[in-house]
Amino acid sequence: MDRSKLTFSGETADSLAAMRPIEAARDILRRVANDQEKNRLVWFVLIGLLYLIATALYAVRQFRFDELATFYLARLPGMGTLWKALMEGADFNPPLLYAATRAAIAAFGTGEYAVRVPAILGFFVLCSGLYVFVSRRAGTSYGFAAMLLPMVTGAFVYATEARAYGMMLGFSGVALVAWQRANDRARRTGWLVLMTLSLTGALLTHCYAVLMLVPFGLGALVRDYNRRKIDWVLWLCLVIPLFAIISYLPLLAAVKPFAVDNSVFRPDLYSFSKFYDFLLSTALWPLFGGAVMVAFAADRTRRAQWREVLPPHELAAVFGFLLVPVLAILLGVFVSHIFMLRYGLGTVIGVAILVSAGPSALTGRSKAVGAALVLLLAGWFVLSTAAWAAGLFAAPQEEALLGKVPFERLRPELPVVISSGLLFLEMDHYAPPAVASRLCYLMDEEIARKKTGADVFDKGFLVSRRWYPIRGHLEDYRSFLAAHPKFLLYGYSSFELDWLIPQLIEDGAKMTYLGKRGPSKYQTVLFEVESPGKH
């Protein structure tokens, strides 16, 4: 037959024409995937550079309240002094965070980026561990997708926060790889030791890291069931880190006197949905794009062969990571009465594995889909970072919240009362000396508990002023009003833990509005106040 004489109907020709760009795109993506396999180190370094550039931009922002606690305690004269401060309630984390921050300060100085180095390194170690874990099962491209996924979620905030979460996630990432290798290899002593040390490090960094043992325990249970044999050595290595809880006991004793039972901290019916909104809202578009790609590329000739990608015990561990916020909420309901969204951060590990290994299983390890996921996630990470940086540099400096209000030129004879404990410590740290010497925070534990259900600032400042270099003044509410007929009042327009403005209104103080500053979410207001009975 003369093939040159073959003809097609118009409809068939149009279909073939439409398929050509799709096939061309698939061919390009396969080439990208092959390049990722061939040049793994190059791609790993490129993603690492993207991460370092992004963290360099994010980490130069000013310290928040909690980060200042880390900074001040890490600069105490020695670990003995630090431990004494922790036992008095100056902060509530185990000691490894402060030891790592001390090392970072000694190596890099006291700048914002330097103090955040432990978190930056820890979060990147997590991402690297996810790459190693997933690429071993699903292929190189899907490993890089797992590496990138945490960077586009809400968890990325804690990559540049001088608190325990970046380090805790880093230790968990190392433990994840060590656990996988220990299950796969006959000669596994080194991997078991590494897993034990990593989990112990996580527990010595943050109290809620104890929940990270649950996924590994679930995985071990499934593996033992399938093998019909208990792996006593592995279980021993999972139990040993629990001894780190001994270091929590004096910390828990220090926390106990503080009143924190209120609607701000207490978990409710919406806590779970709030958590996943916090974690995934920034990643919705890349997740949606990935889902569309998988839907078109899914292998419909057979069901997803999860066993080919993730063994049952590893799938059980993924499910365990997804349970972390549920367990944290249950602890809050029945034990601590506290749940903060960051307590469930460990679930980002399960999400990253599921979102990367899942498409691999559904598409028969399609190289094109794997490469597309990598490019999609990397592109979104670059765009979101660029958008954040553009907003940062476009915002005028005078709109910053901390230490920028010109109090030195506004009624310099009057003290400046800060209504929020959060804002007081931040302004006290960054304000010029002329302003810091005028700053005051008014305390009354009874009113604080009555108005907000918490006295974490009013009682906490009494402890922390012995360990923090606070320049401003901590004053009793009633005594201050009796001694100062007029003062300036500055604080957030609405914050659940602030009681001062409602109390002044209740007591009959005259408040003259002078202005506001900042975006609506973090808007601050300035008043001139005449004390009750003084006007």
pLDDT digits (tens, 9 = 90+) for 2-16: 444 445 455 555 554
Q: How many CA atoms lie within 13 A of 175 on its CB side?
A: 30
Q: Which of 93-97, 290-294, 392-396, 489-493 has the lowest mean pLDDT?
A: 392-396
pTM of the model: 0.91
Reported as a pLDDT band with limits 50, 70 and 90, residue 295 is confident
| Strand order through the sheet with 510-517 | 473-476, 439-443, 416-418, 486-492, 524-530, 510-517
SS3 447: helix
Token pair 């926060």 is at which residue? Answer: 161
Token pair 């108005």 is at which residue? Answer: 451
For the chain, what's the residue count? 535
SS3 104: helix
Sign of CA dihedral 159, 323, 98, 178: negative
Q: Give Cα 496 to chain centroid, integer Å.
A: 22
Q: How many CA atoms lie within 13 A of 134 on its CB side?
A: 33
Q: In angstroms, rounded to a whole number, what is the distance separating the alpha carbons of residues 3 and 328?
A: 68
Q: In angstroms, rounded to a whole number, what is the distance separating the alpha carbons of residues 8 and 16?
A: 10
On the question of pLDDT at 397 being above 50, the answer is no
The counts of H helices and E strands in the chain are 25, 6
Other CB atoms within 10 Å distance of the CB of residue 51: 22
Q: Which of 75-89, 126-140, 243-257 has the lowest mean pLDDT?
A: 243-257
SS3 491: strand
pLDDT per residue as tens digits for the range 468-508: 999 999 999 999 999 999 999 999 887 788 899 999 999 99
On the question of pLDDT at 303 being above 90, the answer is no
Q: In angstroms, rounded to a whole number, what is the distance separating the alpha carbons of residues 299 and 295?
A: 9
Q: In angstroms, rounded to a whole number, what is the distance separating the alpha carbons of residues 232 and 11?
A: 65
Reported as a pLDDT band with limits 50, 70 and 90, residue 212 is very high
Give the closest residue to 157 by CA, choosing from 282, 290, 270, 339: 282
